Copies of this chain bind each other. A is one copy, B any other.
Amino acid sequence: MNDIVLAIDVMGGDFGPKTTIEGISMASKIYPNVRFKLYGDKTKSLDQLKENSELNNFEFIHTTENIKADDEPVNALRKLKKSSMRLGIDSIRNSESHGFVSAGNTGALMAISKFVLRTINGIDRPAIAGVLPTMKGQTVVLDLGANVDCSNDNLVQFALMGDIFSKLVLGIKNPKIGLLNVGSEHIKGNLIVKQTFDDLKKISSKINFLGFIEGNDINKGNVDVVVTDGFSGNIALKTAEGVAELIFTFLKNAYNSSLISKIGYLLSKPALNRFKTRIDPRKYNGAVLLGLNGIVVKSHGATDAFGFSNAIGVAISLIENSYVNEIEKKIEI
């Protein structure tokens, strides 16, 4: 296994093989050194494979078992041992692949990954990390929903994992780390964030901890890593999505409200398209399950082929930069 081998769940996501295979095809052009292992129902994928005939650096592992979006994670783990998701994750443990990408059921992906791959020594719980656009570039936020209750130890581990992610994937030399809270003063917040604040201050030789930040700091770009528990992180992420949707809907209605404003829109369109590109959610697709003995990336279920190819890119970047080894080293220090 010299070249990178990436396992893919062809069946996951709202559009199944149609989107995933097209996304793999797109990614294979960007990453010619990567070999893909496709897990899924070959009969249901044939049309799509034909349509993307330029994709050839792959092997297809046929299985008819599939985890659906509404399957209980526990049931998926116990009963669906031949599913495309399970076989793909198994392939990492069996050293047949370096990582896995799926657009399927997040809860099942987390449960199976934890069970099959286990966490890295020194990491008690994996976290889901995602990248968001800011005024100055990008920031990584974790946890986005894997752990609704977190101890200060969990949060400190998230900070270390986010630090390495920021360095390896986003290329930030000395990532600035912020702890999400309801105020920036030290007296603010609950007991756990206060304790975490003190813990992070103690390891200032290991990380560049800036202190508490608030919700409106996430998009300012003053920090490169936002550390939070999965409850608040998930609410922040989804609230951000909802606000963006609200503003774009209102904006669209405004442009459509008169002929003059429609003409104005057409004139501004090239500039507006560049603006949209900057915050295109497909560009930020690919949430990473950090802290496992293996690279597992979750694509948004509703994304298109371009979005799916970006999730593949995130996985490859983590593999190329030996993310798991780097975390192990960081934890040992």
With A219-B246, A244-B247, A246-B134 known to touch, is A254 a contact of B239 (CB < 8 Å)? no
Question: Could you say which of A10-18, A59-67, A229-237, A308-316 contacts chain B?
Answer: A229-237
Contact with B along A29-57 (1 / 0, CB 8 A): 00000000000000000000000000000
Contact with B along A207-222 (1 / 0, CB 8 A): 0000000111111100
Q: Cα distance A216–B302 when bound, in Å?
A: 15
Count contacts on A: residues with CB < 8 A to the other chain.
Answer: 63
A182 within 8 Å of B by Cβ?
yes
Q: Cα distance A237–B235 when bound, in Å?
A: 10
With A231-B190, A243-B243 known to touch, is A250 a contact of B278 (CB < 8 Å)? yes
Q: Cα distance A263–B244 when bound, in Å?
A: 25
Given the complex, which residues of B lie within 8 Å of A270, measured CB to CB? 258, 260-261
B182 with A234: CB separation less than 8 A? yes
Contacting B at CB under 8 A, from A122-155, are 133-135, 145, 148-149
Contact with B along A178-220 (1 / 0, CB 8 A): 0010110001111000000000000000000000001111111
Q: Cα distance A249–B219 when bound, in Å?
A: 11
With A243-B243, A264-B267 known to touch, is A182 a contact of B275 (CB < 8 Å)? no
Q: Cα distance A272–B247 when bound, in Å?
A: 11
CB distance from A66 to the nearest CB of B (A): 20
Which of A's residues lie within 8 Å of B, judged by CB? 72, 133-135, 145, 148-149, 180, 182-183, 187-190, 214-220, 228, 230-232, 234-247, 249-251, 253-255, 257-258, 260-261, 263-272, 274-275, 278-279
